[in-house]
Amino acid sequence: MVMWVFGYGSLIWKTGFHYDERVVGFIRGYRRVFYQGSTDHRGTPDFPGRTVTLQAFPGELCYLEVREKQYDSKDPDSMTPAINGVMVYMASPDTRTNKNYLGPAPLEEMAKQIIHAEGPSGPNRDYIFHLENALNQLGCDDLHVRDVANAVRKILLEMKTDL
């Protein structure tokens, strides 16, 4: 049986299981966001860390539809090979079913939470820096990941100068 798993967070650099093949891919209409709380790996129930989940984000396609409206035809699949039947684990934003969903917050607030959270898998800040590095190695510049990582760096630098 063949099973594809789409890893968009720690599965990129730390799979934790054997796999036969790895391909780089993306899912149209979604983006990574640090909205999922981690009480089991990068935080605790008393002080959850933040990890990425996927959020529907159709705006990119809508923007292109407006920007490229002068073209009389489009082919959404012309050059993009696709793998179907991929397993994707996403956090539900419904806090009735997902008690660890933290949702959006100001960048500085997320960065402070990430700096101070630590769980059995290590400091939450390691998670974001490993993710940023893994994405960079794949040639993926994720604006949200970069912004959060830079906010964490800025606060860490300020904390050093206060010592």
Among the listed residues 24, 29, 57, 38, the one whose alpha carbon sits nearest the alpha carbon of residue 127: 38
* Residue located via tokens 């939450």: 124
- Which one of the listed residues 68, 118, 132, 158 is annotated catalytic? 68
68 is catalytic: yes
For residue 125, the one-letter residue type is: R
Contact in structure between 38 and 113 (CB atoms under 8 Å): no
Q: How far is CA 78 from CA 47, 61, 69, 86, 132, in A?
A: 46, 16, 18, 20, 30
Other CB atoms within a 10 A radius of the CB of residue 156 amount to: 12
Tokens of 11: 């599965």
Task: State the catalytic residues.
Answer: 68
